[in-house]
Chain A
Amino acid sequence: MVMTKATLDTADIARMGLERRRRGKTILIICAILSALGAMAGVIFGPLSIGPADLLAVLGKQVGFGDAAAAGQVKIGVIENIRAPRAVLGFAVGAALGAAGAAMQGFFRNPLADPGLIGVSAGGALTAVAVIVLGAGVADNFSPGVRAFFMPLMAFFGALITVFGIYRLSLFDGRVIIATMLLAGVAANALAYSGIGYLTFLADDAQLRDLTFWTLGSLGGATWARVLPAVILMVIATFGLLALARPMNALLLGEADAASLGVNVESVKRRAALFTALGVGAATAACGIVGFVGLVTPHLIRLMTGPDHRYVLPGSALLGATLVLFSDLVARLSVAPAELPLGVVTAALGAPFFFWLLLRDKRVGAFG
């Protein structure tokens, strides 16, 4: 608009866009490879040593060729019934939490939003624990197929109520107030944990064993029958969030600007909250509260690809899966034959990262 000679042409814009896309795709491929390695490592490493050849033999058996007998019946059993469901659950939990974290940060337009920090996981855990302690009689009335979905769906409702509650509380004049959001999260966490504590007090001995892993998170005890319903819900949630990438980019401009770009803001926000709650609820129902995955992974991806959700959402899902699978490996191997809770490992990695974020953003004054 001024008289200076502008030297930018279409080729420059094409190049800038191409560079960003190429970088994004490279990062996605690397994350996909890492998550596949994580799943394989989860199957291979453990008290019973299993070699890559055994793994191949079992995979070969699934598709109908190869000599499965070479691996031996015990190893086949361990792979098929213990480690494989655990790896599948770990992958799904990590992907759901990573994508949910990225979606929450976009939804709140705030890079500190995390399902664990703002109480969404705890809200889901509270309703799931309520099912264990109070709902045993109710769940018995359902057929086994329905019962398998009962707890993840209850956790979904608990998570959903928390998402909307925190959003309503932290919204002032069309903007999310960061301090209010985090403080509302502190209050929501406190309330949910007090509820969980009360229910633990009411629980009998058998229920207590079920409850111990809730507050710290664990992939232990994964069987196909327990894992599959939650995994189905987490897969639906993760893909539901991935489909929101484009409108969520516009949403980062602010709700009014997104609306003027033709984005149906209410519908996008509703879907983002629903799928986030579904993914976090199902993950929490399956393995308790696993914190910080949703905080850490979107940040790492964003540092590498920029904030475009077309890369941040799938990248966070894949890196989340990687993080959970390798954390679970640490949890299983570090104190073998006993097991650390998974949530302890992810918190030990995630909490220092959170401190680093606060220090970095304090320096650049990013928190207004």
Chain B
Amino acid sequence: MTLTLGKASVIRGGKAILNEAAFACAPGRFTALCGPNGAGKTTALSVLSGALKADKGRALLDAHNVRAFASADLARRRAVVSQISMLTFPFEAHEVVAMGRAPHFGISSPARDQEIISEAIQLMDLTPLAERRFTTLSGGERQRVHIARALAQVWEPPGDNAARWLLLDEPTAALDLKYQLALMRLLRRLAGEEGWGIVAVLHDLHLVKTYTDDTVLFRDGKIAALGETQAVLTKESVQDVFDLAEPYDIG
């Protein structure tokens, strides 16, 4: 029951932007992917989600190649919150959240879908914005709508009761402090109490240290360090990976 990256390499323009990266994420744990810009974090997340085919190696979900799953089946097991939203059409916020139920079409009942959509909207504190047009929302509000959509997508365990996975690429980037903390607490709870596997690219090392279980440190497409967050994020490892002039104390 793991989500594993098996010696995956991605080559772009003759350069390995991901170079034989191998690590495993466990359900029930919150895993952070950290490192400098261009170190391969987003690429690793794309390979894990099945969006990107690695040139060498592959991602495995419960020992099966992620890209061998039927796409709707995979969509009921893992949801993805990407960094950039491309939606420019004026859907209302509740309609965007409802799109998360698309892979359950014909399986889940409309009534159950509505329950899940309303709970996901409340969880993201979007109630006053539910009927607003997506295109009129601020960056942070849009981000919360997309997170609610992803939550609605994997709200219930898949048919075989396997673990659910939530993959997020810099989910806190557009959020203000209040919602950054609230989101991190929510992800912590989904992993710890509900048994979801959470994998997130994060830049704020304070948040990483406070809320995550495991950390994978990237540098130049390779994995520089991995393990439990408290052990991985040391003054020395952070100074080394981020190429800082002096040791950096996260606190």
Contacts and interface: CB of A to CB of B under 8 A. Distances in A.
Contact of A249 (B71, B72, B99): B99
B21 to A, nearest CB: 20
Interface stretch (A3-11, A25-33, A142-150, A314-322): A3-11
Contacts of A256: 46, 51, 80, 82
Given A13-B114, A307-B89, A366-B88, A2 B99 contact: no
Interface stretch (B22-30, B56-64, B177-185, B209-217): B177-185
A246 B118 contact: no
B131 interface: yes
A13 B118 contact: yes
B87 interface: yes
B91 A264 contact: no
Given A1-B186, A20-B95, A259-B51, A13 B127 contact: no
A215 B95 CA distance: 42
A256 B88 CA distance: 15
B76 A262 contact: yes
A261 B101 CA distance: 8
A260 B89 contact: no
Interface string A261-300: 1111000000000000000000000000000000000000
Given A1-B123, A6-B125, A7-B127, A13 B117 contact: yes
A110 to B, nearest CB: 8
A13 B115 CA distance: 8
A254 interface: yes
Nearest to B123: A1
A308 interface: yes
A16 B132 CA distance: 11
Most B CB atoms within 10 A — which of A4, A17, A110?
A17
B102 to A, nearest CB: 5
Nearest to A303: B90
B92 interface: yes
Contacts of B90: 302, 306-307
Nearest to A6: B122
A14 interface: yes
A256 to B, nearest CB: 6
A10 B114 contact: yes
Contacts of B146: 257
B49 A306 contact: no
B244 interface: no
A75 interface: no
Contact of B178 (A2, A110, A111): A2
Interface residues of B, number: 53
Contacts of B124: 1
B114 A261 contact: no
Interface of A is mostly: loop
B162 to A, nearest CB: 16
A1 B95 contact: no
B118 A261 contact: no
Contact of B94 (A17, A249, A252, A253): A17
A2 B182 contact: yes
Contact of A263 (B71, B178, B183): B71
Contacts of A1: 123-125, 179, 182-183, 185-186
Contacts of B99: 249-250, 253, 261
A8 B153 contact: no
B171 to A, nearest CB: 12
Contacts of A307: 89-91
Interface in B67-126: 71-76, 78-80, 82, 84-92, 94-96, 98-100, 102-103, 105, 111, 114-115, 117-118, 121-125
A261 B153 contact: yes
Nearest to B153: A261
A260 B121 contact: no
Interface in B175-197: 178-179, 182-183, 185-186
A12 B103 CA distance: 23
Contacts of A2: 125, 178-179, 182
Given A1-B182, A12-B130, A262-B71, A175 B86 contact: yes
A306 B82 contact: no
Contacts of B153: 261
B92 A253 contact: no
Contacts of B114: 10, 13-14, 17
B103 A261 contact: yes
11 contacts: A1-B185, A2-B178, A8-B118, A10-B111, A16-B94, A111-B89, A249-B99, A253-B96, A256-B51, A260-B75, A306-B92
